[in-house]
Structure 1
């Protein structure tokens, strides 16, 4: 049971990155590959607060929320909006550039070593169904589940969510129907980035604060996104838990050096059978 809890926790972290991808994709049609870097920004805010000392935990979360949200606004306004009429590869290059800049600024300010930040809550071990877990593990799993459910409900049962689905399907048609796609994109980036920053102080005690972490989270989050289906919050959550469990059991029974190999083998097999992902919908266009 201990391995299951550890795997679910790891998978929840990957799912949180993929949910951020989904939020920007549904709002703007763009996958924000700098989302993991914005989560790392939140982690370093927590490290800064820990090194300074004396800051209340809610204030730390608020600073991370506002800083990441502000960066998301700047990113959409100056790095994404001018390229909406360009090819998708241009936006991809821009996102990678933004991620590189954020990583470079953090590395220049704090170095590249992994920095430890203690958990702000209780850290005693909990015995659960015969296994051992930390309170932080259960919190991370719970946050991933709640966020996925909330995003699913917002996407399918609110006017904003339905507008996002409409612009994702056909941006020009959505504009003709009166949907402010520019505003939707701007606030989608801001909200997704702020949420990523808010998660940083929560995750940092589990992952450490390290610039190298952004690339790992970005890649694993993308794997989870593709497996679960782009735009499907439910699929992303299930795929995240699945990848986390595969990593945990692969590390135990095959070896820690091969757990990534196992993940990408499963990834390839699933995509061969279901190119649209586990819960992604097929789109048919008449020509």
Structure 2
């Protein structure tokens, strides 16, 4: 519901895509402020509906919600890939994202597609929060940090590629974990951005991204 309202208030009235970025960031700032006023600035624990006891896998310890989160990410990538390729709504959504004007000329209701995408994204974020929350805790300012890591993962994997986003997220997580293990957690972000720079220097479109040419 909140995501759909954001689309109606902060995105639809604005025509310029660059201005839309500013308005969505403004809404995010307002939501962060409201969250801090209601729940405060201190991290809050998020209970998991399953077992919260660590389990041993291949000699290492992990939690059920971490395994569930990984499995859920894979399922979502596969499901969204099939949805975007084999359904009319998915094809329409891809068409609007690629070329809004052309999609309108083909009779696609771009406004309905946009608000549906925002609403589904908000719903998906809420569902994933059940699995992410036990690991990260509930913090009002966590969204900006996760958004930055998500952007890095997308850039490494390649924008527009769902498998690339999954692989990019895995690369970010592995680099952070091993850097913290070997050098300390204070070097984790530096290592992640170093990997990002190397990947973009070798392949600017990302690992699974495709470079497109456009005649002008």
TM over 0.5: same fold?
Answer: yes
Structure 2 residue matching 1:250: 3-state secondary structure: helix
Aligned length, in residue pairs: 216
Q: Which segment is superposed worse, 110-119 or 233-242?
A: 110-119
Aligned equivalent of 1:138: 67
- RMSD between aligned residues: 1.1
Q: Secondary structure of 1:82's match? A: coil
1:125 to partner: Cα distance: 2.2
Instruction: Give me the whole-angstrom Cα distance separating, in 1, the residues matched to 2:53 and 2:38.
Output: 33
TM superposition shift of 1:205: 1.1
Correspondence for 1:34: none
State the distance in 2 between where 1:115 and 1:214 align: 14
Aligned to 2:163: 234
Task: Report what 1:256 is aligned to.
Answer: 185
How far 1:162 sits from its partner (Å)? Answer: 1.2
Aligned to 2:148: 219
Q: Write out aligned runs for 1:71-220 (5 A).
A: 71-83=2-14, 85-86=15-16, 88-220=17-149
Q: For the Cα contact (< 8 Å) 2:157–2:165, is it kept in 1?
A: yes
**Whole-Å Cα distance in 1 between the matches of residues 98 and 212 of structure 2?**
9
**Secondary structure at 2:12's aligned position in 1?**
helix
117-126 vs 227-236, which moves further: 117-126
**Is 2:212 the counterpart of 1:283?**
yes
Structure having greater relative contact order (Cα 8 Å, sep ≥ 6): 1
Measured in 1, the distance between the counterparts of 2:202 and 2:35 equals 40
**What is the CA-CA distance between 1:228 and the residue it aligns to?**
1.4
C-alpha displacement of 1:164: 1.6
Partner of 1:16: none
What is the CA distance between 1:117 and its match in structure 2? 2.5
Q: How many angstroms does 1:134 deviate by?
A: 1.1
Please say if residues 66 and 131 of structure 2, whose CA atoms lie closer than 8 Å, have aligned partners that are also in contact: no
Q: 5+ residue gaps in structure 2?
A: none
CA contact (8 A) 2:100 2:110 kept: yes
State the Cα distance separating 1:215 from its structure 2 match.
Answer: 1.3
- 2:196 is matched with 267
Normalising by structure 1, we get a TM-score of: 0.73
Question: Residue 172 of structure 1 aligns to a residue in which SS?
Answer: helix
Distance in 1, matches of 2:137 and 2:56, equals 24
1:28-48 per-position Cα deviation (integer Å, ceiling 9, x unaligned): xxxxxxxxxxxxxxxxxxxxx
Q: Secondary structure at the match of 2:56?
A: strand
